[in-house]
Structure 1
Amino acid sequence: MDIDKFQGQLITADHPEYDTARAVWNGAIDRHPQLIARCSGTADVTAAVRFARSHDLEIAIRGGGHNVAGTAVCDDGIVIDLSAMQAVRVDPGRCTARVQGGALWGDVDHAAQAHGLATTGGIVSHTGVAGLTLGGGLGWLMRKHGLTVDNLLAADVVTADGELLRASDDRHPDLFWALRGGGGNFGVVTSFEFQLHPVGPDALAGAILWDAGDTRKVLRFYRDFVRGAPDELGTVVRFGTAPPLPIIPEELHWRPVILVGACCAGPIGDAEEVLRPLRAFGRPLLDLIAPTPYVNHQSAFDSTVLHGWKYYWKSTYLPELRDDLIDVIAAHAFACSSPRSYAVMFHLGGAVSRVPEGDTAVGNRQASHAITLDGVWRAGEDYADRDIAWSRGFFAALESYREGVYVNFLGADERPDRIRDAYGTAVYDRLVEVKTQYDPDNVFHHNQNIRPRSERTAARSRPGPHAPGAGTAGTTRPESQTNSGAMR
């Protein structure tokens, strides 16, 4: 790399910020790159890709660094870090936003809501825009406005050859198709252009809590309630303890509860009628639903999934909640040991299911729900073995109900066939063709990897550090040492 022309920050192991810069959201990931190239713009990204290729360095791409598998950081190679590229530019006349690849969803919501606009984003505001978008993008607005990728208009991409391309429906449409769900397999996206929609500024939103002992009754009611719900209503069910948030009375802190979070993206009066049956069901411990600024609701769960905690996930799509499936969920959801562990279930359908399979690279659009089983503990706590076992056991109990998986919820120790499960055969095979065209050497393989038909560089055939055998801590080193002096 021509250091004189690189305008960003170069961070090596002797830099005082090295340990902070290599840390990602999941504290169970502990990897040591040779170099972190914190880019200031697209020209820096291009330079970093070309430098890594010329020195045969492993490449990891960091946007928000939020993915549970920890693919944003690698051992011994280079991390191309976009975290300094967070600009968001909204065009209220066209209802669009241009968003740099290192931005977080909180950045987008803040800029768009200044004009009463939004697009489907994650339910945690410190989630990165790039990772969530490239994997599909679940969020409160998805039943009304589709997944995040359904609102993607164009993307600027630095390819494996260090070339900058603009991908859209009419420019490199094959690449644009693959970016909408295929993850980070095809290049470094330095900028996204999104369609925005009128939302808020207030929405009827919040959560209702019932005692964990009511789980079966609540889920049976919830199944019937969401079956007829309008597209404006987004809901998420959380199984775990009530977090110690200021808005929750102290006597409920750490009590096992089933929580239904809701956000209705329509007029407040209409939303009150939609949510009335849910709010009236059973004997809730707490009802927090109220007219709420949309940006506040988007960040309401942020403090329950903090940076640096250790996470282990298993996940699957599920069909509609039959009684026997409800019994399985109720029997396992509260059997974890750590008070921070939880399971979360997203209701899909609506606009998500109306996009034909294959129109984007997102698979399994006809699933009713996505559930993720999340073991969580802090450094120094001894819950790891028990809650990893809980997550795996819960996942095994769901085997006869599983319908593929959302690629962004795949963890650090998944079998390669689970990546195919995320797409289905037809979509996966088409992704392989696009990968073979744009990245035949599999340069970008620190991800949920789509392998090209044949890899011309033997070193690139190694599995990424998230592959089976690498462990949840992600400490396995590549088989051969790269050139440690290449950046000096």
Structure 2
Amino acid sequence: MGGDNGAALEGLREKLRGPVLAPGDAGYDDARIVYNAMIDRRPAAVARCVDVGDVRATLAYAQETGTDLAVRGGGHSGPGLCVIEDGLTLDLSPMRWVRVDPEARTAQVGGGTRLGDLDHAAHAFGLGVPAGIMSTTGVGGLTLGGGHGHLTRRHGLTVDSLLSADVVLADGSFVTASEKEHPDLFWALRGGGGNFGVVTAFTFRLHPVDTVGAGVTLWPVDRTAEVLRWYREFLPAAPDEVSGFFAVLAVPPGPPFPEPIHGHKMCAVVWCCTGDLADGRLEETLAVVNDPAPPAFHFTAPMPYPALQSMFDEVIPAGLQWYWRGDFFDSISDGAIEVHGRYGEGLPTDLSTMHLYPVDGAAHRVGRDDTAWAYRDAVWSCVIGGIDPDPANADLVRQWCVDYWADLHGHSMGGSYVNFLGAQESPERVRTTYRGHYDRLAEVKHAYDPDNFFRANQNIPPAAPGSEGASGAW
């Protein structure tokens, strides 16, 4: 934020119902903190917007003063794209609300809402949305990237349940995007990230989900090859009601894990089974965990869906050093298995991990071109996370993640879930993430944000004027 903008900032404060926090203000340091402690940026101001009026005023201020703008929802962005050094953060965290219509089976959600808020409100009516694996994740960022989680095999991606989105555009206009209104924008919002505007509210279709069959199975890390060869065949052939993501990890201290295995390196599957769990069906379904090798630990229990969603919140809280990278896979090759085994045995810290999330089942029954999500043929979405509380280990976990990803990338489909991209990805990497949808996204960008005002993201520059589709009509 160049020059003396003190008077302009005071003017913004007068227009907003929410606070505008600048360096030196009480609460500023808390307001600039994000989930990943590796991100330590000092914006010129944080505007905490409580409603659409605040959002519009903040956007106008940024444009009038020539200030770079970032948008923050839940603050869970791994690369910290919601905070710009010496820029302005438009913070939606005060817009944290959920309104459920149990008869229509829909939920409207504010732009600053977290998954735990949505899970809690919907669960009261035995309903839920397929979204994430941690309750602290922001609904907005996860949804705009496409969104996957425990319920994806059963109910699809998060965007497959999105019915509409309220959006403030770069010019300050307010629109509702849906299949009938601004359908091109709605298509782009379902996987295209934060490129197109500030989403102040989402409306989701809810699905019946109440008690789920949760489970964790651990095997010694030196059995990774046997377990992965079994897992790559078992899970895609399993009914959609059975989901489980594969991981390499160090066993966290505390229940349900017995003390003798705390800290031991293991490979694992974290299970979520939906449907009828009566008459011992859960244990019967998961009896197959003995097939690849004898587990070192196996735990199953029926539990409320929000309890599963919050299971890892205390294990991986906010304030840790994070570095992550990801890729999509349509198969788990023998070469990939060798890489997973090697880096699993070489976990650099107790919190560093790798997850393979299944994105098949119901997600495969949505048309390839129906949403901006470009990998409907992917079977797994992989993320590698170098994690530790100590800043002194930041370089260690970063290098482990970079090396792991580099050795694994050649076995992948070439692109990644956009929410698993890093802070300094190349334009080619972003293009690969969107495959054949990239040009259409650039055309929608031209129609709704021709000056690329929203660029603090995995950016899709607007198509050149006059290119096919630049009018926004399809």
Q: Report the Cα distance in structure 2 between the residues aligned to 1:352 and 1:272, rounded to whole angstroms.
A: 26
The 8 Å contact of residues 313 and 391 in structure 1, kept in 2 or not, is answered as yes
> Structure 1 stretch 286-295 or stretch 88-97: which is displaced more?
286-295
After superposition, where does 1:37-436 map in structure 2 within 5 Å?
37-200=47-210, 202-269=211-278, 270-278=281-289, 282-380=293-391, 382-403=392-413, 404-424=415-435, 426-436=436-446
Look up the match of 1:474.
none
The 8 Å contact of residues 208 and 259 in structure 1, kept in 2 or not, is answered as yes
Q: TM-score, normalised by structure 1?
A: 0.90
Tell me which amino acid in the other structure corresponds to 2:152: M
* CA-to-aligned-CA distance 1:97-147 (integer Å, 9 cap, x gap): 000000000000000000000011110110000000000001111111110
> Structure 1 stretch 251-260 or stretch 322-331: which is displaced more?
322-331
Cα distance 1:333–1:416, how it changes in 2: closer, same or farther (>3 A)? farther
Which consecutive residues of structure 1, in runs of 5 or more, have no partner in the other structure? 456-488
Deviation at 1:378, TM superposition (A): 1.7
The 8 Å contact of residues 208 and 279 in structure 1, kept in 2 or not, is answered as no
Q: Report the Cα distance in structure 1 between the residues aligned to 2:87 and 2:410, rounded to whole angstroms.
A: 40
The 8 Å contact of residues 167 and 175 in structure 2, kept in 1 or not, is answered as yes
Tell me which amino acid in the other structure corresponds to 1:23: I
1:449 paired residue among 443, 459, 465? 459
Q: Report the Cα distance in structure 2 between the residues aligned to 1:444 and 1:256, rounded to whole angstroms.
A: 42
> Structure 1 stretch 397-406 or stretch 54-63: which is displaced more?
397-406
Tell me which amino acid in the other structure corresponds to 1:251: P
Q: Report the Cα distance in structure 2 between the residues aligned to 1:303 and 1:257, rounded to whole angstroms.
A: 19
Please give the secondary structure, in 2, of the residue aligned with 1:440. coil
Please give the secondary structure, in 2, of the residue aligned with 1:422. helix
Q: Report the Cα distance in structure 2 between the residues aligned to 1:325 and 1:4, rounded to whole angstroms.
A: 56
Deviation at 1:332, TM superposition (A): 2.0
Q: Report the Cα distance in structure 2 between the residues aligned to 1:93 and 1:230, rounded to whole angstroms.
A: 28
The 8 Å contact of residues 115 and 138 in structure 2, kept in 1 or not, is answered as yes
Look up the match of 1:485.
none
The 8 Å contact of residues 289 and 295 in structure 2, kept in 1 or not, is answered as no
Deviation at 1:203, TM superposition (A): 0.9
* Number of corresponding residues: 452
The 8 Å contact of residues 240 and 334 in structure 1, kept in 2 or not, is answered as no
Q: Report the Cα distance in structure 2 between the residues aligned to 1:95 and 1:249, rounded to whole angstroms.
A: 40
Q: Report the Cα distance in structure 2 between the residues aligned to 1:137 and 1:36, rounded to whole angstroms.
A: 26
Q: Report the Cα distance in structure 1 between the residues aligned to 2:201 and 2:335, rounded to whole angstroms.
A: 45
Q: Report the Cα distance in structure 1 between the residues aligned to 2:79 and 2:327, rounded to whole angstroms.
A: 15
Q: Report the Cα distance in structure 2 between the residues aligned to 1:147 and 1:99, rounded to whole angstroms.
A: 17
Q: Report the Cα distance in structure 2 between the residues aligned to 1:437 and 1:353, rounded to whole angstroms.
A: 29
* CA-to-aligned-CA distance 1:419-456 (integer Å, 9 cap, x gap): 111110x200000000011111111111100111359x
Q: Report the Cα distance in structure 2 between the residues aligned to 1:358 and 1:177, rounded to whole angstroms.
A: 9
| Percent identity between the two aligned chains | 44
Look up the match of 1:484.
none
Q: Report the Cα distance in structure 2 between the residues aligned to 1:162 and 1:94, rounded to whole angstroms.
A: 31
The 8 Å contact of residues 319 and 401 in structure 1, kept in 2 or not, is answered as no
Deviation at 1:244, TM superposition (A): 1.5
Q: TM-score, normalised by structure 2?
A: 0.93
Please give the secondary structure, in 1, of the residue aligned with 2:30. helix
The 8 Å contact of residues 13 and 19 in structure 2, kept in 1 or not, is answered as no
Deviation at 1:280, TM superposition (A): 6.0
* CA-to-aligned-CA distance 1:22-44 (integer Å, 9 cap, x gap): 00001111111111110111111
Q: Report the Cα distance in structure 2 between the residues aligned to 1:11 and 1:2, rounded to whole angstroms.
A: 11
The 8 Å contact of residues 159 and 188 in structure 1, kept in 2 or not, is answered as yes
The 8 Å contact of residues 69 and 87 in structure 2, kept in 1 or not, is answered as yes
The 8 Å contact of residues 337 and 383 in structure 1, kept in 2 or not, is answered as no
The 8 Å contact of residues 21 and 28 in structure 2, kept in 1 or not, is answered as yes
Q: Report the Cα distance in structure 2 between the residues aligned to 1:295 and 1:65, rounded to whole angstroms.
A: 20
Look up the match of 1:465.
none
Deviation at 1:400, TM superposition (A): 2.3
Please give the secondary structure, in 2, of the residue aligned with 1:203. strand
The 8 Å contact of residues 61 and 188 in structure 1, kept in 2 or not, is answered as yes
Tell me which amino acid in the other structure corresponds to 1:419: V
Please give the secondary structure, in 2, of the residue aligned with 1:374. strand
Deviation at 1:235, TM superposition (A): 1.1
